[in-house]
Amino acid sequence: MSNLELEFRSDNCGRAAPEIIEAVVKSNQSTALGYGADELTIALQAQMGALFERPVRVFPIPTGTGANALALAATTTPFSAVYCSPESHINTSECNAAGFFGSGLKVTSLSGQFGKLDPFALDRAAATAGRGQAHKSQPAAVNLVQATDLGAVYQCHEVAQLGDIAKRHGLVMHMDGARFANAVAHLGCTPAELTWKAGVDILSFGVTKNGGLLTDAIVVFNDEIANNIGFHLRRAGMIWSKMRFASAQVLAYIQDDLWLRLATQSNAAASTLALAIQAIEGTRIVAPVQANELFLSMRSTALDHLAASGVLFYRRGPDLARLVCRWDTTQQEIQQLIARIQQAAAAK
């Protein structure tokens, strides 16, 4: 067995897309005003508006964690409860960022399948939360992750169903779109259909995992929310003085459908992988493979074998592996991985 390492730990292990690197280089021609008053940042507002088929406000922001926490802080009070799925990134992987940005707000996880929020659970939670009772965390926002943290993708009508419930209960709807591109590429819908047309008020628009360098973005579909975000960002040390170098990345990312082409590549890699794995005895794929992540269950010793063979991946339990495909995952890497999974499954 080859010892060559195969990288399937995370999409953030991937390269930056050449088009985005090139845009950064090109944006360095002249002086420009700081803190987002530059031409690229202004152009970004219009381009993103075109992409979403309506005026939006776009704020490049260093990380997805920052985007999520700040989006929630900007749309809630310190007395708020934010509903999410148990597996959601804000609940499991952001070191209390939502509580920090939100002055102590409460992250409340509800049941659901494959990282999706169950609409009935949301409805019941909001209805029984005790709105107006001072000792109760007040229902304020709902967070959905698209694609989910288990690799599934909400259909547009599923988002819209949650959006209706959110609206009915006066909840802001936030979409954590760290893998928004993968979701749109999977669904073939428009970005508008998957967001504001389905009730999303504010979106963490992922760039980094899908070919960016150092920026994600917040996209706001609601002017009232947007007006305070500048203060939130500045207080959080999140407004780059040379914003142009971040805006250049986001602009290149959405130009000529680059973002969808990149996501299509990582989605396809995951699909190919899933198809091949299904034929291997001793393996089980435990969640829908609709984006670029695959959750693979194998005997614990088989996973040990797989790791020893040089495949890099994270374990989510003794017999559960997460495998993530990148935009730059090659066909050769996929084929080698399949071969090593076959060997691992067959090993005693």
Site for a copy of itself in 303-332 (CB under 8 A): 326, 328
Task: Kindly tell me which of 66 and 191 has the beta carbon lying closer to a copy of itself.
Answer: 66
CA distance 311 to 305: 9
CB neighbours of residue 206 within 10 Å = 26
Least distance to a copy of itself from the beta carbon of 237, Å?
3
Pairing of strands 202-205, 80-84: unpaired
Only one of the segments 29-37, 45-53, 180-188, 264-272 lies at the binding site for a copy of itself (rule: CB under 8 A); that segment is 29-37
Among candidate residues 118, 108, 188, the one with its CA nearest the CA of residue 148: 118
Which 161-200 positions form the footprint of a copy of itself (CB under 8 A)? none
Q: Applying CB under 8 A, which of residues 47, 63, 222, 342 lies at the interface with a copy of itself?
A: 63
Which 110-139 positions form the footprint of a copy of itself (CB under 8 A)? 134-138
CA distance 226 to 234: 13
CA distance 248 to 263: 19
Least distance to a copy of itself from the beta carbon of 101, Å?
8
Q: Enter the tokens of residue 69.
A: 């926490």
Only one of the segments 149-157, 188-196, 209-217, 259-267 lies at the binding site for a copy of itself (rule: CB under 8 A); that segment is 209-217
The set of residues, in sequence order, having a beta carbon less than 8 Å from that of 146 and lying 6+ positions away, is 153, 154, 159, 175, 176, 177, 179, 180, 183, 194
Q: Applying CB under 8 A, which of residues 189, 213, 274, 347 lies at the interface with a copy of itself?
A: 213
Q: Applying CB under 8 A, which of residues 75, 208, 267, 336 lies at the interface with a copy of itself?
A: 208
Task: Kindly tell me which of 14 and 151 has the beta carbon lying closer to a copy of itself.
Answer: 14
Q: What's at 280, amino acid-wise? A: I
CA distance 244 to 42: 9
Q: What's at 177, amino acid-wise? A: G
Least distance to a copy of itself from the beta carbon of 252, Å?
14
Only one of the segments 42-50, 55-63, 111-119, 280-288 lies at the binding site for a copy of itself (rule: CB under 8 A); that segment is 55-63
Least distance to a copy of itself from the beta carbon of 251, Å?
15
Least distance to a copy of itself from the beta carbon of 92, Å?
8
Least distance to a copy of itself from the beta carbon of 204, Å?
11
Task: Kindly tell me which of 169 and 197 has the beta carbon lying closer to a copy of itself.
Answer: 169
Which 232-291 positions form the footprint of a copy of itself (CB under 8 A)? 232-242, 245-246
CA distance 99 to 113: 25
Least distance to a copy of itself from the beta carbon of 58, Å?
16
Task: Kindly tell me which of 55 and 86 has the beta carbon lying closer to a copy of itself.
Answer: 86
Each residue 77-106 as x (binds a copy of itself by CB under 8 A) or -, in order, gives: xxxx-----------xxxxxxxxxxxxxxx
The set of residues, in sequence order, having a beta carbon less than 8 Å from that of 242 and lying 6+ positions away, is 32, 34
Least distance to a copy of itself from the beta carbon of 9, Å?
7
Q: Applying CB under 8 A, which of residues 2, 4, 12, 257 lies at the interface with a copy of itself?
A: 12
The set of residues, in sequence order, having a beta carbon less than 8 Å from that of 135 and lying 6+ positions away, is none
> Applying CB under 8 A, what is the total number of residues that bind a copy of itself?
79
Q: Enter the tokens of residue 51.
A: 């992409």
Tally helices (H) and strands (E) across the chain. Answer: 14, 13
CA distance 318 to 299: 8
Please say whether the beta carbons of 243 and 41 come within 8 A: yes
Q: What's at 324, amino acid-wise? A: V
Least distance to a copy of itself from the beta carbon of 25, Å?
6
